[in-house]
Amino acid sequence: MKKLLSAALAFVLLFSLAASPAFAADTKKMKIAFCTWAGYAPLFIAKENGYFTEQGYDVDLIIIEDESTYGAAFVSNSIQGLGQVLDRDIIQYDAGAPEQYVCTMDCSTGGDGLVATAEIQTMDDLAGKTVALDKSATSYFFFLQALADSNITEDQINIVEMGNDEAGEAFLAGRVDAAVTWEPALSNCSDREGGHILVSSADYPKAIIDVLTVSSTFAEKNPEVYDVLYSCWCKAVDFLNENFEEGCAIMAAGLDLEAEEVMDECTGITFYNAEMNEAFNNLDTEDNIYDIAQLAANFWVEKGYMKSTDLKGFFPTLALD
């Protein structure tokens, strides 16, 4: 009798699981990649709270630190979604990655910046100085926007190319006069005598924007994916805003960081909810997502990193002519 009852219970359990969205036959699997950065981490909230599952999606969130592999991962279908900085996305799109915009995730509002020595108090003071930065990354785009508001030009500065982490370390070690970097070097810049933040992304809040993109190849077969990812992202941001400590704990576990680290990072991040996305995606809004993307495209074409400024295919959900 016990065996029959156990068998019956097992059958009921199996049937209920099979009927649930998580185990439905038409559950759609996808992988979304991003690096270790709190700006992308609300996706862990969406997964933990079952938002993807509710939409019939089984989403695997994977950490890939090397952004140079993202475009190839889209092409090989190793990933179907990506959280990354906007201007890097359009470079990949221009190079042939089947990548399309879904929504804006966040913008850096103090999480990135230019640190400098005591004698450098304005951008003009960088003339003749050595600055460490990554010319192949958004940090270069941010730096040149800040430089455009000065009275000097790039060729008056000695730029040493290195990654953001390395740039911060080089500054703290006294090997360069200034550096474009991020946390923790940004907050720790005063560990070097006279070290201070000269300018940060809080001064240029739309210079560093993170967006969620999807593979156009995947979207052709699953056209609802734009709405699915967008709604899940917005629900996750709402949860974070309403349950900050719990949300940060979920994000920290996903990123394999301490909750305090994530909460500290979040102080320099503005997460975009549905209302903010609606306004930013409105082409009638000044400095909307398309305008910012075109600004970046013009910049990278001029620098030789892109061939074309045509981004219409990258924004399938915007009402472009």
Q: Is residue 319 part of a domain?
A: no
* Same domain, residue pair 171 and 149: yes
Q: Which two tokens stand for residue 83?
A: 């959280």
* Same domain, residue pair 129 and 171: yes
Q: Is residue 51 part of a domain?
A: yes
pLDDT in tens, 209-226: 999 999 999 999 999 999
Among 200, 219, 245, which residue terminates a domain? 200
pLDDT in tens, 70-124: 999 999 999 999 999 998 999 999 999 999 999 999 998 888 899 999 999 999 9
* Same domain, residue pair 211 and 194: no
Supply the CATH number for residue 266's domain.
Answer: 3.40.190.10
Q: Is residue 10 part of a domain?
A: no
Among 156, 182, 200, which residue terminates a domain? 200
Q: Residue 8: its pLDDT value, please?
A: 39
Domain count, the chain: 2
Q: Percent helix, strand and coil across the chain, each rounded to 5?
A: 45, 20, 35
* Same domain, residue pair 211 and 287: yes
Please give, one letter per residue, the 3-state secondary structure of 160-222: EECCHHHHHHHHHCCCCCEEEEECCCCCCHHHCCCCEEEEECCCCCCCCEEEEEEEHHHHHHC
* Same domain, residue pair 275 and 140: no
Residue 275 belongs to what domain range? 28-108+207-314
Q: Is residue 151 part of a domain?
A: yes
Q: Is residue 229 part of a domain?
A: yes
| DSSP three-state, residue 264 | helix
Pairing of strands 178-182, 130-133: parallel
Instruction: Name the band, by pLDDT with cuts 50, 70 and 90, for residue 321.
Output: low
Q: Is the pLDDT of residue 21 over 50?
A: no
Among 154, 179, 200, which residue terminates a domain? 200
The residue type found at 80 is: Q
